[in-house]
Structure 1
């Protein structure tokens, strides 16, 4: 082993980024540079090939060592002064779990079958959110590959995978990851993940990864021992928050994002709770710096960055300084909340803000993005919430009727189809898929699954009681909870097994019929809606006057007007006429002259039309 580098050698691939600051990095044939930021200890040793070697310490807390004769698959650990062996926090692969040794990985040896994949433009995105552990009975990357062709055939153009960073235990949602560079071992190897992404690209599907940078998990998180500065004193309820004022911490996160995009060729990232990254540290928001550095590093690729941001702000989605917007789109929880209230009449927790003026709120979401665009908000003591968003492109918003949070944070993991009238849910699905915003499914939606998706984890017994209390508290944000009601145990194996997607429902007549319903909608979206939103920056949404229960929305773009008319009640209601050519009716047997001024729509009727506009 060498404590200092010798002659600098060229990287084995011209596509590799500059040497990373964290972790084990091949810098030449058989030569690996190991780096660990451990400002809390004076000495760190590297255990490699059953040998111990001291690492060189710099003044800013870095410990470094260059080693020769290293091969992919070699096992290594860092040894602290007290003798404790810890994994590399930037480990690409673990031997078993987050507590054990790390493995050397050479990311350049994988042979891509679809190396020429260039991605897809954002307006074509139809997103399917999935959890690897429950998407198939096996719960692995390899088994997921066999299910992708069916998704592509019905018109799904992107899959969004819930977090993959290694976490404690064998099962979990992934939002308590502690080794952010290592795919969770129970799902398979890094090359198994590459094969999944490569296969998806061969089908014309983008792959987006959900990443969590606002906190780390607690179990298996050894950073506080040797780098307590890595975290701030006040953490989140999910785990300790990162101290983004320190450059090594910022580099750790940005390097991680580049790692997933480069070494696995993900097409994009979804940043969980991104509003926690927006707090200025050294004068520049990490949220801004993150996107700028990623776009600069991948200037020759289509990379789609998506945020979850509870602030309802537009800054990340707007162009600035002559550059394109830093972020492609935001998860629009407002759209979910208002459609949920209309479908279920539940107005508790998060839904309280959406109970009054329901129809105007839904119109605002469809025509202009956020529901709260500066209006007073009950949950914020009547203070204004959000910013005007009607000037943004509709494709800046990802709309959904449900996702992992909205289902899994209910005590029994109830899906919307089990809570509301089927015809109403179908009507809302048609609106979701044919409106110009980017639609997102949750796995199983394609065949109308009513199966629960529960919150589950695999934590030590001493945490079980507190975690049940935590689940009960969280559920109150999503449903009515009785005084004597108890939360199911999330650590019970059954919570995980019952959440595995039951594909027998897809094979039944009802499941097949629903699959055809979804495929028809996505075909209509491809043929009729995509031409309207191809130049999405020039689309303006307008809500026409209508009675409660009726939606009449026009979206006007260059040369087209997309028109929605629907009745989401059980009554026969009058509706403004359309001027374009009708291309979709729900139900199919709907027979209404929608072009007349005295048009009346029956219950749960949905109509979409497109008008060709003459140049002004």
Structure 2
């Protein structure tokens, strides 16, 4: 099967250079430096009658030879590191290399020949971190710093260390059309977008993160290509399919004619990021839109291939899906992932709903408390689409199989003005919501700037032109705005234009806020609660090898959740309402965090959260956590 071919090929390279100061992922396509100093150019173009190579600075193009399988290839000594090149279709159209490692002049410009072995890695002994230790921090390179570059991001890593973050999750960086974009309109999946810097700059960011004990997870998009700059269908139309439409256009073809080449293209991309850039994992975007009826689903093949070549490195694969993916979250007898590591727990966003919902009935509030309990102990509620499997009942999935949050690029950006939760709810409400997800056994994920209550929004932005720009602008308003007011200029004046540079600039974090007033108070609060998680909750996770939680609804918006393990339990009491409640049981254990008014008895004040633990049989050191709570 392809998974054996791709994995074995990459593993051979990995084993040969695992202890060297270089990391290279060998690919059967693209531009590859030769031992004699030349370059081999190879591209799959089964629908092209001819292909030629165009080198910048060379007047004539170079003919490429085609084998019986549809591969075009040429080796030339006229190219080397730094050469810029394109392929020329029979009709004279110049196209970039679909596996270009770098596009210095955007998606329609020439590709650049890179030496992937040029970067000398410092952290050769880095083997990653256990998933139980993960405290994720999602960030967008272009707006994380004023400069919006990989190198500038390095300067903020010490801030994340101080905060207690152990892993950054970088929003997709695959080359997109234009000067700014969320990243989910990528068309050249192997090339880090040039607006962020060069490939070695991204490697330097990964290296610097490893210096500080921080894992790096990269967001990848394998469900569609962006709407501008995708030339692949002109010479390999079978890479796309109309069988499974997505909200963003045609899906990738993983199960029809010539789908083996699509699979190869995607599998090598995943291996490329893990091997050549030494990523600690991948977050796979919207996998519910990846339809594959093959005997081995591409997601499972990808996971097996990545794990096969990772060797003794810990590599984590996170799924984002509207459907349940429990069958991909199982563990082996040693509690290691069989395929995927975790899935985003979209249902935990109910916390944000509770924080902002007004005027609900008591029945609705009780229903939401029940759903919150289910989201915390099962990862999903009855509202989630998809088919339930008995994986949880069989004890195959630990709490770490789910990633929890109250803010992400989607949660914030899918509000028409991109408002953060701190702009929509009072501070005590936000603290209560955050205290729930940050201390729960599921893996927590902050969205950049959340830790200091950043004042900057995160609206949707892109940099398309012409009719496409108009279509995006209109579609955005129709999706999240009031269609009847699309001609109302006063209304439109208050809505960020997703195509405007000012919208992109408005999303850039203001780092001067971190040490100022209320923002400094937020920073201190997040630092302390994360420290308690690391000291009190993380040591318990090894004893929670399955989703063993139970919950009791105590009243409207009030719930008790308890996770049992052999030596004791972890317990949450939460009253997420504007009315105090006396319906809780007294604490039978040690309180590790109290948010809002409440003691150890049965009453909790408004928007109050209490975490306690019973762990008499475990040897624990609590002095650090106690001092942080004072």
Tell me which of 344, 354, 359 is aligned to 2:369. Answer: 359
Q: Does 1:333 align with 2:346?
A: yes
Q: Give the distance between the partners of 2:124 and 2:325, measured in 1 at CA.
A: 37
In 2, the alpha carbon distance for the partners of 1:11 and 1:278 equals: 31
Partner in structure 1 of residue 573 of structure 2? 565
Q: Which residue of structure 1 lines up, in the alignment, with residue 3 of structure 2?
A: none
Write the deviation string for residues 527-572 of structure 1: whole angstroms up to 9, x where unpaired: 1001110244245111135222222111112423111112111222
1:422 pairs with 2:435: no
CA distance, structure 2, for counterparts of residue 347 and residue 438 of structure 1 = 32
Structure 1 residues 346, 472: closer, same or farther in 2, change over 3 A? farther
> Whole-Å Cα distance in 2 between the matches of residues 347 and 159 of structure 1?
37
* TM-score normalised to structure 2 length: 0.87
Kept after mapping to 2: 8 A contact 1:554/1:564: yes
Instruction: After superposition, give the CA deviation of every residue in 1:150-185 in whole Å (9 maximum; x if it has no partner).
Output: 111110111111010001000010101011011101
2:613 corresponds in structure 1 to: 610
Q: For 1:208 and 1:98, locate their aligned partners in 2 and report how far apart those are by CA, in whole Å.
A: 24
Aligned to 1:302: 314
457, 477, 482: which one pairs with 1:452? 457
Find 2:253's aligned residue among 237, 243, 257. 243
Q: Structure 1: where are the runs of 5+ without partners?
A: 1-9, 349-353
Partners of 2:456 and 2:507 within 8 A in 1: yes
Kindly indicate whether the alpha-carbon contact (under 8 Å) linking 1:127 and 1:439 is maintained by their aligned counterparts in 2. yes
Change (3 A) 1:360 1:458: same
Q: Verify the 8 A CA contact 1:32 1:66 in the aligned structure 2.
A: yes
Which residue number corresponds to residue 300 of structure 2? 288
- Tell me the SS of whatever aligns to 2:587: coil
Tell me the alpha carbon deviations over residues 192-251 of structure 1, each in whole angstroms, 9 at most, x when there is no partner: 111111111111100110000100012111112111111112542323321113111101
Report the CA distance between 1:482 and its aligned residue. Answer: 7.2
Aligned-pair distance for 1:23?
A: 1.0
Any conservation in 2 of the 1:539–1:556 contact (CA below 8 Å)?
no
Distance of aligned partners of 1:27 and 1:580 in 2 relative to their CA distance in 1, 3 Å threshold: farther
Relative to structure 1, the CA distance from residue 506 to residue 495 in structure 2 (aligned partners, 3 Å threshold; closer, same or farther) is same
* Separation in 2, partners of 1:496, 1:78: 33
Distance 1:165 1:124 in 2: 28
**Please, what is the CA RMSD of the aligned residues?**
2.5
Q: 1:346 to 1:490 in 2, by over 3 A?
A: farther
Corresponding residue of 2:410: 405
Structure 1 residues 325 and 474: alpha-carbon distance in aligned structure 2, compared to 1, 3 A threshold: farther
- Mapped to 1, the partners of 2:218 and 2:281 lie a distance apart of 6
Matches within 5 A, 1:582-593: 582-587=591-596, 590=597, 592-593=599-600
- Tell me if the contact between 1:335 and 1:371 (Cα under 8 Å) persists in the aligned partners: no
Inter-partner Cα distance in structure 1 for 2:44 and 2:519: 52
Residue 87 of structure 1 deviates from its aligned partner by: 0.6
- Where in structure 2 are there 5+ consecutive unaligned residues? 1-11, 619-630
The count of corresponding residues between Structure 1 and Structure 2 is 582
Aligned to 1:5: none
The whole-number CA distance in structure 2 between the counterparts of 1:533 and 1:27 is: 49
The CA deviation at 1:320 is 7.4
Of stretches 570-579 and 263-272 in structure 1, the one that deviates more from structure 2 is 570-579
Is 1:493–2:501 an aligned residue pair? yes
Report what 1:368 is aligned to: 378
Pairing 1:457-606 to 2, within 5 Å after superposition = 457-475=462-480, 486=492, 487-538=495-546, 540-574=548-582, 575-587=584-596, 590=597, 592-594=599-601, 599-606=602-609
